């Protein structure tokens, strides 16, 4: 079953078509990860799923109804999105920012119920930013800030969460921290997650359902990473010769790129004379 | 703040309430000072008597014809400009996104000058010209800056361009005018609340009565828009429509205020920033801004009346001087703090 799916959509910005006749169904309760080379339309697909971009043809369906037929607030109660770039207004505290995630549940005269307060506190606890509640968002590190934004999306209390490159600009430790957090949300609370990721190995480790897009926005493969990720697929989609081994930690596929020039030692690269 | 069973729950920023109360108290003192002092000193009972309609002829005239309309115009114009500035600064995410910096005010001036010089209109026509000029300038900026999503910085740059364009048109108009027209144009160009009557009070008061509540209704959407278009949409805000309504509110407030009092610089720029520094609040903070704007202009007008009683200095020059210093300080501290302006 899929609460969220895109039927036969063509995605385009003005004149430039990014993807044609795409069919995507997000399995309920999955941690779906979308990967693909740069500019293959990963983020565009996510935008379409989050009704930020209207498909040129075809339709995106949420709970059986066209997503564009919902009121904006109603979508925001069912589906949360962490965009690639968000702006923290200067001088805002962590607690205030997370509280803004309650907007779709509030009314003009019902702005701050005790439920709102409880949900905001729980969201901050879940993402480990509760003790930062009174701090200014400007003062936080990149990893902390990303967890604050995640807390804001959690405060929206939607069972479907879309994350557009949630690990960009983070160092490796913080990338893993954010992904572990996402995996926890998926496993412990049963959220359906859809994330766009750059790192294939991370995608293979965390995804329960992987969607591999080819340049031109065509689906090259989708399914359980252990079943679909092969050296042939990676070479075909990314143009990267590689070997696939089992990740010694998780047993998931691990992509090991081939050396640039097989058979020659790389200790003395040809270009080293110019590189200083 | 909640009622039992939570039918009604409002979120109130504690410090903002204290600041608003403080501003209101200072504002009250300025109001009393303005009504009682002057060439003819009036006691508080005399003022109250006049306000209650039982004053003697002299006090009645001084209050109702001279002091009260001028005071109310200052209060309303100050509040309108401040709310306009608060909305625009929040939308553009930049303290420079204020109607006087980005050309609404100069556009209003162009409209007014065309009426004064080319059409030879009177006071009412001039005000209508100013209103039209401000709206046209705003429309131009909107069309040039808002196609394909908004970027705050682009909005401000386009606005500064339009402002410069309007300014040169204004200078040209004055060079083409007869001496008499040029003098009255120049007089209009220095914003003042001196000699304003009940027509101005009613016009700006009515605009505030309609537009301020509309602004307050949209204030929560405005604080969501501050998070960026994508996040605001994700949280269920109709981004395009909300932004359009808010810009219309902001433009009309600025244009009507300018139509009533002429161009008054820097109140719209400084009042929201000062209010924000006092409340430590985030979000647009329309109510503290409105109070701060009213206070700045009323206190400024009281100061020029008392400090320069003989020269009838217009309040526009005072706010211009103080605001200029504030702008320099703002830019200097912003750049010191960030090292760049991105």
Contact A112/B237, CB-based, under 8 Å? no
Chain A residue with the nearest C-alpha to that of B226: A89
**Chain B stretch 68-87, residues whose beta carbon is closer than 8 A to a beta carbon of chain A:** none
DSSP state of A109: T
- pLDDT per position as a tens digit, B46-58: 888 888 777 777 7
CATH number (3.20.20.105, 3.40.50.200, 3.40.50.300, 3.40.50.720) of A4-225 reads 3.40.50.300
Contact B220/A111, CB-based, under 8 Å? yes
**DSSP codes joined into one string, B39-63:** SS---HHHHHHHHTT---HHHHHII
Each of the 276 residues of chain A gets a pLDDT tens digit; together they read 789 999 999 988 877 888 888 999 999 999 999 999 988 889 899 999 999 889 999 999 999 999 999 998 999 999 999 998 888 888 889 999 999 999 998 877 777 888 888 999 999 998 999 999 999 998 998 889 999 999 999 999 999 999 999 998 888 999 999 999 999 999 988 899 999 999 999 999 999 999 999 988 889 999 999 999 999 999 999 999 999 999 999 999 999 999 876 555 545 444 444 443
Lookup: tokens for B339: 């090292």
Chain A residue with the nearest C-alpha to that of B276: A91
Residue B341 pLDDT exceeds 50: no
Cβ atoms of B185 and B116 within 8 Å: the answer is yes
Q: Does B93 touch chain A (CB under 8 A)?
A: yes
Predicted-complex ipTM score:
0.84
Give the pTM.
Answer: 0.85
Lookup: tokens for A273: 């004379």
Contact B93/A87, CB-based, under 8 Å? yes
Contact A111/B93, CB-based, under 8 Å? no
Give the 3-state secondary structure of residue B1: coil
Q: Which residues of B touch A53 (CB under 8 A)?
A: none
d(CA B257, CA B244): 20
Write out the residues of chain A at the interface with chain B, using a CB-CB cutoff of 8 A. 50-52, 71-77, 80-89, 91-93, 96, 100-101, 103-104, 106, 108-114, 153, 156
Contact A113/B217, CB-based, under 8 Å? no
Cβ atoms of B248 and B177 within 8 Å: the answer is no
Instruction: Round the average pLDDT of chain B to a whole number and report it.
Output: 84
Residue with tokens 């244009």: B255
Residue in A96, A104, A112 nearest the CB of B9: A112
CA distance to partner chain A, nearest, from residue B314 (Å) = 36
* pLDDT for the residue A41: 87
**DSSP codes joined into one string, B188-239:** HHS---TT--HHHHHHHHHHHHHHHHHHHHHHHHHHHHTT-HHHHHHTT--H
Residue B11 pLDDT exceeds 70: no
Cβ atoms of A202 and A229 within 8 Å: the answer is no
Dihedral sign (CA A42, A45, A50, A53): positive
């Amino acid at each position: 079953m899929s609460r969220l799916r895109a039927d036969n959509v063509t995605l385009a910005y003005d004149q430039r078509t990014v993807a044609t006749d795409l069919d995507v169904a997000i399995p309920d309760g999955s941690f779906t990860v979308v990967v693909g080379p740069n500019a293959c339309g990963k983020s565009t697909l996510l935008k379409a799923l989050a009704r930020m971009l209207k498909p040129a043809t075809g339709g995106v369906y949420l709970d059986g109804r066209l997503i564009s037929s919902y009121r904006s607030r109603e979508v925001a109660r069912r589906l949360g999105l962490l965009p690639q770039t968000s702006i923290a207004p200067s001088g805002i505290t962590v607690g205030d920012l997370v509280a803004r995630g309650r907007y779709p549940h509030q009314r003009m005269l019902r702005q701050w119920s005790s439920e709102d307060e409880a949900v905001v506190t729980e969201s901050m606890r879940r993402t480990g930013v509760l003790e930062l509640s009174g701090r200014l968002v400007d003062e936080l590190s990149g990893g902390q800030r990303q967890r604050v934004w995640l807390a804001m999306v959690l405060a929206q209390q939607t069972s479907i969460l879309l994350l557009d490159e949630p690990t960009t600009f983070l160092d490796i430790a913080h990338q893993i921290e954010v992904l572990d957090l996402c995996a926890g949300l998926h496993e412990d609370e049963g959220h359906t997650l859809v994330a766009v990721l750059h790192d294939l190995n991370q995608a293979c480790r965390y995804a329960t359902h992987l969607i591999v897009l080819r340049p031109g926005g065509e689906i090259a493969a989708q399914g359980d990473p252990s079943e679909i990720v092969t050296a042939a697929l990676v070479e075909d989609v990314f143009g990267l010769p590689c070997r696939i081994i089992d990740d010694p930690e998780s047993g998931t596929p691990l992509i090991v790129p081939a050396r640039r020039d097989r058979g020659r030692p790389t200790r003395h690269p040809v270009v080293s004379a110019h590189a200083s | 703040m909640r009622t039992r069973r939570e039918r009604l729950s409002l979120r109130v920023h504690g410090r903002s309430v204290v600041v608003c109360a403080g501003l209101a108290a200072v504002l009250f003192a300025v109001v009393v000072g303005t009504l009682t002092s002057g060439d003819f000193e009036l006691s508080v009972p005399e003022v109250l008597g006049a306000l209650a309609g039982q004053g003697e002829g002299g006090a009645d005239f001084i209050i109702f014809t001279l002091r009260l309309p001028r005071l109310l115009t200052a209060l309303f114009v100050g509040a309108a400009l401040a709310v306009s500035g608060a909305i625009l600064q929040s939308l553009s995410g930049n303290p420079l996104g204020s109607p006087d910096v980005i050309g609404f005010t100069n556009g209003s001036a162009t409209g007014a000058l065309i009426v004064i010089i080319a059409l030879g209109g009177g006071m009412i026509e001039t005000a209508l010209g100013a209103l039209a000029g401000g709206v046209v300038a705003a429309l131009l900026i909107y069309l040039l800056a808002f196609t394909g999503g908004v970027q705050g910085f682009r909005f401000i740059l386009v606005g500064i361009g339009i402002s410069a364009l309007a300014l040169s048109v204004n200078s040209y108009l004055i060079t083409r005018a007869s001496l008499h027209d040029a003098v009255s144009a120049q007089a209009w160009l220095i914003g003042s609340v001196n000699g304003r009557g009940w027509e101005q009070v009613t016009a700006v008061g009515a605009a505030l009565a309609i537009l301020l509540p509309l602004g307050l209704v949209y204030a929560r959407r405005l604080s969501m828009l501050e998070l960026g278009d994508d996040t605001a949409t994700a949280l269920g805000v109709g981004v395009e429509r909300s932004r359009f309504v808010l810009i219309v509110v902001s433009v009309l407030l600025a244009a009507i205020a300018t139509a009533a009092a002429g161009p008054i610089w820097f109140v719209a720029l400084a009042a929201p920033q000062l209010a924000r520094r006092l409340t430590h609040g985030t979000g647009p903070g329309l109510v503290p801004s409105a109070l701060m704007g009213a206070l700045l202009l009323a206190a400024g007008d009281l100061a020029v009346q008392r400090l320069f009683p003989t020269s009838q200095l217009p309040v526009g020059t005072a706010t211009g001087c103080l605001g200029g210093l504030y702008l320099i300080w703002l830019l200097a501290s912003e750049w010191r703090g960030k090292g760049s302006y991105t």
